[in-house]
């Protein structure tokens, strides 16, 4: 990018967007990163968010207007309905997750954008996928609306790259855990709520059963991976559907035990709801060797390190 070109994060107020905007501004400068989300915000809030444009990703005309106005060349498209919310509103989830992607892909096809980041998810896998160390290429029969939209999205990304020579990059995120912002409607959200409740009330009722092991990742690792894949030489990005990415795998019982090392009196109970079936359809661990060899991915946080960092930061935030 030259110095006049800018990057934009669409879905900037979500769990990933909040942190990605901060990370990108550290690299490109506050004036070169546009935050964008559906919510109109007033002037006083704008001072906190920095450069901000309200836009609905389904409104292609408005999106195009902002992109041209700011000379945006790279878009990180994060606006989507996640797994649990999508099950409650399948039609809208399909519309948002697919048409939002088409609006951005088409701008890349027209040459308005030079690079696009679009997140996929472990939700592309399904009950027939091997559960342990899930390979990059394997059976993919997602059983959730969200997973179906992500799998279709991956196919479309690869299609646009091959057919129209656009530069689209993608990662299959595991469940993401961070302290700076709230998660937004996923099956893995329990792993964030548990920390807040451990500090607030000393107990947590989990909506997944105790041994439901899932692939997870601490947010600083996810932000690093997102920026790293976008900054890598194009020739290194050999997979143009989406890369498997792994951080750490754990169950509610594992994380509760880890929290108990710091808060001895912490208790957990289990009351699985509809999200249990979603979790049961997903892998337990992921083989991310292609991300490691192709563009040098390395996670920095394990369960122990993440737990210490989450608790320390949440405690400081509450002071
Ligand atoms: C969700 O739980 O829906 C997301 C995901 C795994 O993509 N966190």
The answer to whether 223 touches 255, Cβ cutoff 8 Å, is no
182 Cα to the center of ligand 1, angstroms: 13
- Residues 47-75 have pLDDT tens digits of 777 899 999 999 999 999 999 999 999 99
Closest residue to atom 6 of ligand 1, CA basis: 175
What CA–CA distance (Å, rounded) separates 283 from 213?
8
- Measured in residues, the chain has a length of 319
Q: Which atom of ligand 1 is nearest the CA belonging to 185?
A: 3
Q: How confident is the model at residue 4 (pLDDT cuts 50, 70, 90)?
A: confident
Distance CA 37, CA 101 (A): 15
What pLDDT digit, counting tens, does each position of 133-182 carry? 999 999 999 999 999 999 999 999 999 999 999 999 999 999 999 999 98
Confidence of residue 26 (pLDDT cuts 50, 70, 90): very high
Q: Tell me, what DSSP letter sits at residue 300?
A: -
Q: What angle do CA 247, 250, 255 make, to 5 degrees?
A: 115
Q: Which residues are known to be catalytic?
A: 146
Nearest ligand 1 atom to alpha carbon 183: 8
DSSP 167-233: -EE-EEE-EEE-SSS---S-GGGHHHHHHHHHHHTSEEEESS-TT--EEEEEHHHHHHHHHHHHHS-
Which mutation among 80, 97, 121 tests ligand 1's pocket best, with the greatest number of atoms within 8 A of CB? 121
Nearest to residue 119, comparing CAs of 163, 75, 159, 169?
Answer: 169
Per-residue pLDDT tens digits for 173-231:
999 999 999 888 999 999 999 999 999 999 999 999 999 999 999 999 999 999 999 99
Lookup: tokens for 68: 């041209």
Q: Using pLDDT thresholds of 50, 70 and 90, give the confidence band for residue 265.
A: very high
Question: Which atom of ligand 1 sits closest to the CA of residue 176?
Answer: 8
- C-alpha span between 80 and 187 (Å, rounded): 14
pLDDT over threshold 80, residue 25: yes
* Distance of CA 215 from the midpoint of ligand 1 (Å): 10
Closest residue to atom 1 of ligand 1, CA basis: 186
Question: Which residue's CA is the closest to the ligand 1 atom numbered 7?
Answer: 121
Closest CA to 226 of 21, 51, 6: 21
> Residue 3 pLDDT > 70, yes or no?
no
Spell out which residues line ligand 1, taking CB within 6 angstroms.
82-83, 121-123, 146, 173, 175-176, 186-188
* CA–CA gap between residue 60 and residue 15 (Å, rounded): 23
Kindly give the distance from the C-alpha atom of residue 122 to the centroid of ligand 1, in angstroms, as a whole number: 7
For residue 318, what pLDDT is reported? 76
Nearest to 165 by CA among 108, 125, 89, 217: 108
Report CA(121)–ligand 1 centroid distance (Å).
7
Nearest to 247 by CA among 184, 185, 171, 144: 171
CA-nearest residue for atom 8, ligand 1, is 175
Q: What is the pLDDT of residue 119?
A: 98
Instruction: Map out the domains of the chain with their CATH numbers.
Output: 6-175+218-244 (3.40.50.720), 179-216+248-286+302-318 (3.90.25)
Q: What is the rounded CA–CA span in Å between residue 85 and residue 242? A: 23
Instruction: Write the pLDDT tens digit of every residue in 122-136.
Output: 999 999 999 999 999
DSSP tag of 99: I
| pLDDT at residue 99 is higher than 80 | yes
Taking the CA of residue 214 as reference, the ligand 1 atom at the shortest distance is 6
Q: Which residue has the higher pLDDT, 284 or 317?
A: 284
**Average pLDDT across the chain, whole number:** 96
pLDDT in tens, 238-251: 999 999 999 999 99
Q: Are 186 and 175 in contact (CB under 8 A)?
A: yes
Distance 186 CA to ligand 1 centre (A): 5
What phi, psi does 273 have (nearest 5°)? -120, -155
Which conformational region is residue 192 in: left (phi greater than 0), alpha (psi within -120 to 50 degrees), or beta?
alpha
Which of 200, 199, 195, 171 minimizes the C-alpha distance to 183? 195
């Amino acid at each position: 990018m030259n110095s006049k070109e800018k990057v934009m994060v669409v879905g900037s107020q979500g769990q990933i967007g909040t942190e990605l905007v901060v990370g990108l501004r550290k690299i490109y400068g506050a004036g070169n990163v546009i935050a964008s989300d559906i919510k109109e915000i007033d002037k006083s809030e704008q001072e906190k968010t920095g450069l901000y444009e309200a836009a609905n990703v389904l409104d292609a005309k408005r999106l195009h207007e902002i992109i041209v106005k700011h000379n945006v060349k790279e878009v990180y498209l994060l606006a989507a309905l996640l797994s649990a919310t999508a099950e409650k509103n399948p039609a809208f989830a399909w519309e948002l997750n697919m048409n939002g992607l088409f609006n951005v892909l088409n701008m890349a096809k027209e040459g308005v954008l030079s690079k696009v980041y679009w997140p996929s998810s472990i939700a592309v896998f399904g009950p027939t996928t091997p559960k342990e160390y899930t390979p990059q290429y394997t059976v993919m029969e997602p059983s959730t609306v969200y997973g179906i939209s992500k799998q279709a999205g991956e196919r479309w990304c690869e299609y646009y790259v091959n057919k129209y020579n656009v530069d689209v990059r993608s990662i299959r995120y595991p469940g993401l855990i961070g302290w700076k912002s709230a998660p937004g409607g996923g099956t893995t959200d329990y792993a964030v709520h548990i920390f807040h409740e451990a500090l607030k009330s000393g107990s947590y009722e989990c909506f997944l059963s105790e041994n439901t092991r899932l692939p997870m990742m601490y947010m600083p690792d996810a932000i690093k991976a997102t920026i790293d894949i976008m900054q890598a030489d194009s020739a290194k990005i050999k997979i143009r559907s989406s890369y498997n990415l792994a951080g750490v795998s754990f169950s509610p019982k594992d994380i509760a035990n880890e929290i108990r090392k710091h808060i001895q009196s912490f208790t957990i109970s289990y009351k699985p709801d509809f999200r249990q079936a979603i979790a049961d359809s997903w892998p337990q661990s992921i083989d991310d060797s292609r991300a490691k060899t192709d563009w040098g991915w390395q996670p920095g946080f394990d369960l122990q390190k993440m737990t210490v960092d989450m608790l320390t930061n949440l405690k400081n935030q509450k002071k």
